[in-house]
Amino acid sequence: MIVRKKYIIGFSAFFLLFIAWYLFIKKSDYCISFKVNTATGTVFQGVQEWSATQLLNQKENYTILEKRNFDFIKQEMKKGNSYMEYTWEMKSINDSITAVTVGIKDFDNSLFNRLTAPFYRTKFKVEQIKKITDFKNGLNNHIKNFKVKIDGEGTSQETFVAYISLKSILQEKAQTMIANDAIITGFLQQNNIKIIGSPYLEIQSWDLDKETINFNYCFPIDKSTKIIENEIIKFKTLPALKGLEATYYGNFRTSDRAWFALQDYAKKNDIKLENKPLEHFLANPFNGGDELEWETKIIIPFAKK
């Protein structure tokens, strides 16, 4: 009898603590979880692009409160008198699957939502399920537009190049390259310097927090080429890099999806990488065609010991 009483008291105390945590301490009112066939960073970028679309289409204004490592992002959302918080957590399950959990908090109706969401299809619950389902469907449609294949350990070739140094936010690297393409190719043409291979993109620095990159847009040329002094166009040898390699098929605008896949693979396999990807574009986008046939070789070098 005494043992039973202790059990009842213990269970009651646990239940009361759980209720107190659930109603007053738990950070979100409602959580939605799903899995997608892509890297954590691709989901992370998808959240930001989706947020911009929500502002245009739904007048929902999302502000980033906190983010880290391309696998966590916390946002506040304001629309009229509504004030909500979305916490996105992305966890890599394996080389290609990411588990996503979205915690949602409505600051105006938090207690009501916590009491009703587990048991009833309230307006709040229905709207949030629809919103996150729409996000997931949009992300899945985006994923269909590219493919990433992890090739494992690889080594790039030493290559002599002419290059132009550029900087941009991560999402606009391809547009920045295109905007400066005529500058470097025009210079080479004017000086009768023949391009003898496909271009490279060499990352010099990558600020993961600000999502900005400094990079060189490079064209292979003969190493015996006479160096021409110029303030914008420079010449150098790209060294052979040993690192983790992937093959990306798709539009060059989103080739960073392969960077994220390589990062997830490296974390899973305890491989230390230097965040300076080298991309070698093996297709010419100006020729058009099926983007899923545009091939890019990408290598991220191993971190120096």
Range with the lowest mean pLDDT among 97-106, 113-122, 214-223?
113-122
pLDDT for res 2: 62
- Range with lowest mean pLDDT among 65-74, 157-166, 190-199, 283-292: 283-292
CATH number of the domain encompassing residue 90: 3.30.530.20
Please report the pLDDT score of residue 13 as a whole number: 47
Verify that 125 and 152 share a domain, yes or no: no
- Residue 297 and residue 154 share a domain: yes
- Type of residue numbered 300: I
pLDDT at 215 over 90: yes
Residues 192-212: tens digit of each pLDDT: 999 999 999 999 999 988 899
Give residue 60's identity as a one-letter amino acid code.
Answer: E
CA triple 152-158-161, angle to 5 deg: 125
Report whether pLDDT(170) > 90: yes
Same domain, 84 and 198: no
40 with 122, same domain: the answer is: yes
d(CA 275, CA 188): 30
Q: How many domains does the chain have?
A: 2
Q: Alpha carbon of 159 to those of 219, 223, 241: distances in Å?
A: 9, 8, 11
Tell me the pLDDT tens digit for each residue of 53-65: 999 999 999 999 9
* Claim to verify: residue 139 and residue 193 sit in the same structural domain: no
pLDDT band for position 26 (cuts 50, 70, 90): low
Final residue of a structural domain among 115, 144, 173: 144
Q: Within this chain, do residues 88 and 188 fall inside the same structural domain, yes or no?
A: no
Tokens 């491989």 belong to: 271
| Domain end call among 93, 111, 144 | 144
Range of the domain at 101: 27-144
C-beta separation of 221 from 162 below 8 A: yes
CA angle (163, 165, 171) in 5-degree steps: 115
**In the numeric block, which tokens belong to residue 80?**
């009229």
Say whether pTM exceeds 0.85: yes
The Cα–Cα gap between 246 and 263 comes to 11
